[in-house]
Amino acid sequence: MFEGLKKAFASLSEKVKTTTLSEKEIEEELDNLFYRLVENDVAVEVAEEVLKVIKDELRKVRIPRFSDAADVVDSIIKKTIDGMVMDADIKEVLKRVGENMRRGKPTVFLFVGPNGSGKTTTVVKIANYLKKHGFSSIIACADTFRAGAIEQLKQLAERHGFWVVSQHYGADPAAVAVDAIRSAEANKIPVVLVDTAGRTEVDKALLQEMNKIKRVTQPDFVIYVGDSLVGNAAAEQALKFNEYVGVDYIVLAKLDADAKGGSALSIAKITGKPLLFIGIGQEISDLSDKPKEKILHALGLN
């Protein structure tokens, strides 16, 4: 995971550690770092920001020679990444669920994102996470567009004991979500997770559909699920959903398979939204609520 970015940052540290560099040579090494970041799916504007912050920090310190130099550079890189990735406070989310439950109101999570981003698997993983924290869930299959979507969700969710509310293909997705909320109210189930449709390309019709579901359900949280494997497109997709629908949190799926890692930094920085979870494997429990810690660890910076 993140081997591309890890090698890019390690190369800079190693160069400073083993060679006494002039200011011009440091500039050249930072230029090389910029291109390596872009090669590893970091958006150009984010790569430029990373370089700017590192340069500014380097100007503030006197780089020691040899062994300590790499530690100084690693510390600067860690500080830079730390400032770009914002963790959500999962305790606040769980607190809201608990408060709503005591009031007899289900907490509604609306999941949005493009087709293939890993929404369905992520929804079931989060249902499992909430179950471990004492909250049962109903999952609404509001993807009535994609062939096989209802069967996929039912098979995965019911295998793990989660209740799925669905209708037929072509049904109004907002109506499915409302059915799930009413079922939760009637059965005193504290959480409703609404899985929505995506498209290969984010289009106006999809965004209007998401807006309608949001208006009707009045969700407590809108969560964008991004596919870390699609590179720079992931950040652009996240921006569109945030602009037209409004996003509270980001979940990055498939990070365990992401050899580059740049899209994770790009989404976090460009949207400015906190990361709620990251997917770190294919099992239902492979979900981390400490995204920043995991990212820094993958980069060898913790």
How many C-beta atoms lie closer than 10 Å to residue 45's C-beta?
12
Q: List residues bridging with 227 in a β-sheet.
A: 253
pLDDT digits (tens, 9 = 90+) for 32-55: 888 888 888 888 888 888 888 888
Question: Can you give the pLDDT at residue 190?
Answer: 97
Residue ranges per structural domain of the chain: 3-84, 90-298
Tell whether the model's pLDDT for residue 82 goes beyond 80: yes
CATH of domain 3-84: 1.20.120
**Cα distance between residue 193 and residue 180, in whole Å:** 9
Find the largest Cα–Cα distance for the chain: 70
Q: Mean of the pLDDT values across residues 238-263?
A: 81
Structure tokens at 126: 């989060």
How many C-beta atoms lie closer than 10 Å to residue 28's C-beta?
13
Question: Can you give the pLDDT at residue 267?
Answer: 84
Q: Does residue 279 contact residue 287 with C-beta atoms inside 8 Å?
A: yes
Q: What is the mean pLDDT of the chain?
A: 85
Tell whether the model's pLDDT for residue 200 goes beyond 90: no
Q: Mean of the pLDDT values across residues 234-251?
A: 87
- Residue ranges of the alpha helices (H) in the chain? 3-18, 23-39, 44-60, 67-84, 90-102, 119-132, 149-159, 173-187, 204-217, 232-244, 262-271, 291-298
CATH 3.40.50.300 for domain 90-298, yes or no, is yes
Q: Mean of the pLDDT values across residues 258-268?
A: 74
Tell whether the model's pLDDT for residue 57 goes beyond 90: no
- Spatial neighbors of 233 by CB under 8 A, at least 6 apart, are none
Exposure of 259 in the CB half-sphere (CA atoms within 13 A): 1
- Cβ density class 163-176: b for 16+ within 10 Å, e for less: bbbbbeeebebbeb
Tell whether the model's pLDDT for residue 191 goes beyond 90: yes
pLDDT interval class at 276 (50, 70, 90): very high
Evaluate if pTM is beyond 0.85: yes
